[in-house]
């Protein structure tokens, strides 16, 4: 059984106009996504700004209310829970963000921030036990007990991200939704945090849903990957296979756009024209067809479904990819 | 004669040294990449070329900047105004910050033209510039406000503004860092095309080593306020000679050559004012020797590099000394 099972999840926002806030349409930020994450596995969610990847991550935790669909975590439907049950369940899923400065309270020391998480979930009620636990958590993310006294503004970006991870770890999650956790960091600091995430997975058996626009980092960290475009998954499968033999024209273009240190790769750069359309006015048919170099007539009218390609684990939503 | 020549530049901010004895040259029509992590001094070096830092807090205790035959650090404010735009233009990471939010796209470009090239301040030139940077339907876009454009289109507009003055040098400070990869590829392609077609020199500031390979004729790697290694990109990226460059390359994942683990460079980049004596990378260096912490190394030709033209600050480097993972 997968740890997390997302079925046909939709997040639609009403589009309001004018003084009276009349609803004139809907923005389909996430439009029917299926996704699974197994225990102790890392699944990458990639795509460009506005493709809905962050909204999907937030909707899984119900930080953004989903419009319809199902989110099963440890075999329980998260969308059917409320109040105390939801809080207890949600403890097992934690989120870390791109900018830890925005998610840490500037008036709390690092230790207090972590302690707050312990307190909310009533994990270590006694003061002495709590400070021992905080020190252990700080050490597990590569900091020292002394960092507990520091305020966020006294810490570097990498240290703040480590505090964010320690706070998430405090409540013993089984799944961490990581939304661009290393994008704001310098390259050498990024490597330190990426290595830390790998170490924590090994020692604590945590699963990650790793949301990122950086395909090289995703290839490095993730066993499986899902590529999103305009609220839908257009291709998903084992990361190595998607990165070496992508089937969807969008995935191919996305991979080709990544700068490479290998000089032989540079000449093969494929430039994708245009930009992702606004989800307010999505194209008919395949959402990618206006930018697609191989689009045909039916791509403009029929929306392709995500279906299996070469093998059962690799699925593609493109009319032009032949069925097995 | 080089378009830009910086000699032994030292820059202090609030009395703290942030750039220390930096020298580099850039020929007309060539591109140079300054690479390094936050706080290494790459952006303040770039801003110094047109004296865009307020002084105080900025002061230049030593060194010279020669740009298009002018001694930049000696110019008065009137001559500096001439230099900005006519010789050097800038684009930055956040295009929104360099655009006027209450002026329509066309009016902004016309305003830049009126200041620097009044004879060309007409609709035809505005549309030509918008077309030059690849903005589709320029007649319509000229009537838009900046907020109506996407991030990629805003960066194209910022480029059009920078090019309106026909600069000899374009300084691009992390111009694609805020953009998605497919848009980044479009902008980088555009920069290369503009360099070729307009014969304009480019100074690109970036932390992204992949972009360096794509754009640069020449690369300089900075660490703690100084250049630690320079050379042509292919040889430098393929066979780096300074341990910091090697470590930097080993800490970034590459899409096409997967590794099981990224290199952890121990410790953190030292902040200005707290640079260690001797080699500034020595405390984090896997091959440092006792003498490294005492003698501050000079930037000297790398005897092992081929082709020649490579400079490195590490005296212990040789092609066979690999960085242990």
pLDDT digits (tens, 9 = 90+) for A172-202: 999 999 999 988 888 888 999 999 999 999 9
Would you place residue B323 in the very low, low, confident or very high pLDDT band (cuts 50, 70, 90)? very low
A128 touches B: beta carbon within 8 Å: no
pLDDT at A270: 64
Tell me how far apart the alpha carbons of residues A26 and A30 are, in angstroms, rounded to a whole number.
11
* 3-state secondary structure at position B41: coil
A123 belongs to a structural domain: no
B325 touches A: beta carbon within 8 Å: no
Could you give the residue ranges of the DSSP H alpha helices within chain B?
42-48, 77-86, 95-98, 105-116, 123-132, 138-141, 151-163, 181-198, 209-215, 233-238, 243-250
pLDDT at B4: 97
* 3-state secondary structure at position A151: coil
Residues of A in contact with B205 (CB under 8 A): none
Is 70 exceeded by the pLDDT of residue B277? yes
Could you give the residue ranges of the DSSP H alpha helices within chain A?
53-60, 83-90, 100-103, 110-120, 127-140, 157-170, 187-204, 215-221, 239-244, 249-257, 263-266
A263/B254 touch (CB, cutoff 8 Å), yes or no: no
Beta-strand pair A224-229/A175-179: unpaired
Tell me how far apart the alpha carbons of residues B203 and B188 are, in angstroms, rounded to a whole number.
13
Tell me how far apart the alpha carbons of residues B208 and B176 are, in angstroms, rounded to a whole number.
10
* 3-state secondary structure at position B296: coil
Sheet architecture: strand order including A4-17: A22-37, A4-17, A68-73, A76-77
A138 belongs to a structural domain: no
A186 touches B: beta carbon within 8 Å: yes
Mean pLDDT (chain B, rounded): 90
A190 belongs to a structural domain: yes
Is 60 exceeded by the pLDDT of residue A267? no
pLDDT at B321: 45
Q: What is the mean pLDDT of residues B299-311?
A: 82
Residues of A in contact with B186 (CB under 8 A): 271-272
Q: What φ, ψ does residue A280 adopt, rounded to 5°?
A: -70, -35
pLDDT at A263: 66
A259/B261 touch (CB, cutoff 8 Å), yes or no: no
pLDDT at B44: 95
pLDDT at B322: 44
A259/B213 touch (CB, cutoff 8 Å), yes or no: yes
C-beta of residue B65 within 8 angstroms of C-beta of residue B73? yes
pLDDT at A297: 94
A220/B259 touch (CB, cutoff 8 Å), yes or no: yes
CB pairs under 8 A between A and B: 113
Number of domains in chain A: 1
Tell me how far apart the alpha carbons of residues A119 and A112 are, in angstroms, rounded to a whole number.
10
A321 belongs to a structural domain: no
Classify the C-alpha dihedral A101-A107-A110-A114 as positive or negative: negative
pTM: 0.88
Which range has the worst mean pLDDT, A182-186, B34-38, B76-80, B220-224?
A182-186
Calculate how close chain A gets to B238, using CA atoms only, in Å: 8
Is 80 exceeded by the pLDDT of residue A100? no
Picking from A54, A189, A261, A275 by the largest number of B CB atoms within 10 A of its own CB, the best residue to mutate is A261
CATH of the domain at A181: 3.40.50.300
Which range has the worst mean pLDDT, A65-69, A262-266, A302-306?
A262-266
Residues of B in contact with A269 (CB under 8 A): 185, 189
Q: Above pLDDT 70, what percent of chain A? A: 96
Is 70 exceeded by the pLDDT of residue B248? yes
Q: What is the mean pLDDT of residues B8-26?
A: 95
Mean pLDDT (chain A, rounded): 89
Note down the domain range covering A68. 4-92+173-316
A145 belongs to a structural domain: no
Q: How many CB atoms lie within 10 A of CB A25?
A: 13
Calculate how close chain B gets to A254, using CA atoms only, in Å: 6
Would you place residue A268 in the very low, low, confident or very high pLDDT band (cuts 50, 70, 90)? low
B259 touches A: beta carbon within 8 Å: yes
A15 belongs to a structural domain: yes
A299 belongs to a structural domain: yes
Is 70 exceeded by the pLDDT of residue A246? yes
A177 belongs to a structural domain: yes
Residues of A in contact with B208 (CB under 8 A): 259
Alpha-carbon distance values, A260 to A310, B222, B323 (Å) = 27, 21, 21
Calculate how close chain B gets to A122, using CA atoms only, in Å: 35
For chain B, the straight-line distance linking the first and the last C-alpha, in angstroms and rounded, comes to 43
Range A64-67 contact pairs with CB under 8 angstroms and sequence separation of 24 or more: A64/A11, A65/A11, A66/A9, A66/A10, A66/A11, A66/A30, A67/A10, A67/A11, A67/A12
Beta-strand pair A207-212/B201-206: unpaired
Q: Which of A9, A96, A45, A17 is nearest to A254 (CA)?
A: A45
pLDDT at B65: 97
Give per-residue pLDDT as tens, A209-244: 999 999 999 999 999 999 999 999 999 999 999 999
**Which of B181, B251, B261 lies at the smallest CB-CB distance from A254?**
B181
For chain A, the straight-line distance linking the first and the last C-alpha, in angstroms and rounded, comes to 26
B265 touches A: beta carbon within 8 Å: yes
pLDDT at A264: 67
A258 touches B: beta carbon within 8 Å: yes
A263/B189 touch (CB, cutoff 8 Å), yes or no: no
Is 80 exceeded by the pLDDT of residue B234? yes
Q: Which residues pair with B11 in a beta bridge?
A: B19
């Amino acid at each position: 059984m997968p740890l997390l099972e997302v079925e046909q999840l939709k997040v639609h926002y009403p589009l309001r106009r004018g003084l009276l806030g009349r609803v004139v349409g809907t923005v389909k930020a996430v439009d029917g996504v299926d996704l699974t994450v197994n225990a102790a596995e890392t699944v990458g969610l990639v795509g460009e700004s506005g493709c809905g990847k962050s909204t999907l991550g937030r909707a899984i935790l119900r930080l953004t209310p989903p419009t319809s669909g199902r989110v099963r975590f440890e075999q329980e439907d998260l969308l059917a829970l409320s109040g105390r049950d939801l809080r207890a369940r949600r403890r097992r899923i934690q989120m870390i963000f791109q900018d830890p400065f925005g998610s840490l309270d500037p008036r709390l020391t690092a230790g207090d921030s972590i302690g707050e998480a312990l307190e909310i979930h009533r994990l270590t009620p006694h003061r002495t036990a709590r400070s021992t636990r905080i020190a252990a958590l700080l050490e597990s993310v590569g900091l020292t007990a002394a960092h507990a006294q520091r305020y966020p503004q006294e810490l570097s970006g990498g240290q703040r991200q480590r505090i964010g991870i320690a706070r998430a770890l405090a409540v013993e999650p089984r799944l961490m939704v990581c939304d661009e956790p290393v994008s704001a960091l310098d390259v050498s600091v990024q490597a330190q945090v990426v290595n830390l995430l790998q170490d924590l997975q090994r020692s604590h058996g945590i699963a990650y849903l790793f949301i990122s626009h950086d395909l090289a980092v995703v290839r490095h960290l993730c066993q499986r990957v899902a590529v999103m475009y305009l609220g839908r998954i257009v291709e998903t499968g084992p990361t190595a296979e998607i990165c070496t033999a992508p089937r969807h024209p969008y995935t191919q273009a996305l991979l080709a756009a990544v700068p490479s240190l290998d000089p032989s790769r540079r000449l093969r750069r494929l430039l994708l024209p245009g930009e992702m359309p606004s989800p307010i006015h999505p194209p008919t048919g395949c959402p990618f067809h206006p930018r697609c170099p191989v689009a045909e007539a039916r791509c403009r009218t029929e929306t392709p479904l995500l279906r299996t390609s070469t093998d059962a684990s690799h699925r593609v939503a493109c009319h032009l990819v032949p069925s097995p | 004669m080089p378009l830009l020549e910086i000699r032994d530049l030292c820059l202090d901010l609030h009395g703290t040294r942030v750039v220390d004895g930096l020298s580099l040259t850039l020929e007309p029509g060539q591109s140079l990449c300054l690479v390094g992590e936050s706080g290494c001094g790459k952006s303040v070096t770039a801003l110094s070329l047109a004296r865009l830092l307020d002084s105080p807090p900025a002061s230049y205790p030593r060194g010279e900047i020669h740009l298009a035959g002018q001694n930049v650090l000696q110019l008065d404010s009137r001559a500096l105004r001439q230099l900005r735009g006519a010789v050097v233009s800038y684009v930055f990471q956040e295009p929104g910050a360099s655009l006027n939010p209450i002026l329509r796209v066309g009016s902004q470009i016309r305003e830049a033209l009126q200041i620097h090239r009044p004879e060309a301040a007409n609709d035809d030139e505005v549309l030509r510039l918008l077309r030059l940077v690849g903005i589709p339907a320029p007649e319509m876009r000229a009537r838009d406000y900046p907020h109506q454009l996407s991030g990629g289109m805003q960066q194209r507009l910022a480029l059009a503004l920078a090019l309106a003055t026909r600069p000899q040098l374009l300084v691009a400070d992390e111009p694609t860092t805020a953009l998605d990869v497919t848009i980044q590829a479009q902008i980088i392609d555009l920069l290369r095309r503009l360099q070729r077609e307009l014969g304009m020199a480019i100074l690109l500031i970036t932390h992204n080593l992949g972009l360096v390979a794509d754009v640069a004729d020449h690369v300089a790697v900075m660490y703690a306020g100084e250049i630690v290694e320079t050379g042509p990109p292919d040889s430098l990226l393929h066979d780096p000679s300074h341990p910091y460059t090697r470590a930097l390359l080993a800490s970034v994942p590459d899409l096409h050559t997967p590794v099981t683990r990224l290199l952890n460079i121990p410790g953190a980049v030292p902040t200005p004012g707290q640079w260690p004596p001797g080699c500034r990378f020595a405390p984090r260096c896997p091959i440092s020797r006792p003498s490294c912490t005492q003698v501050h190394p000079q930037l000297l030709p790398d005897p092992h590099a081929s082709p020649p033209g490579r400079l490195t600050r590490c005296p212990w480097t040789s092609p066979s000394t690999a960085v242990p993972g």
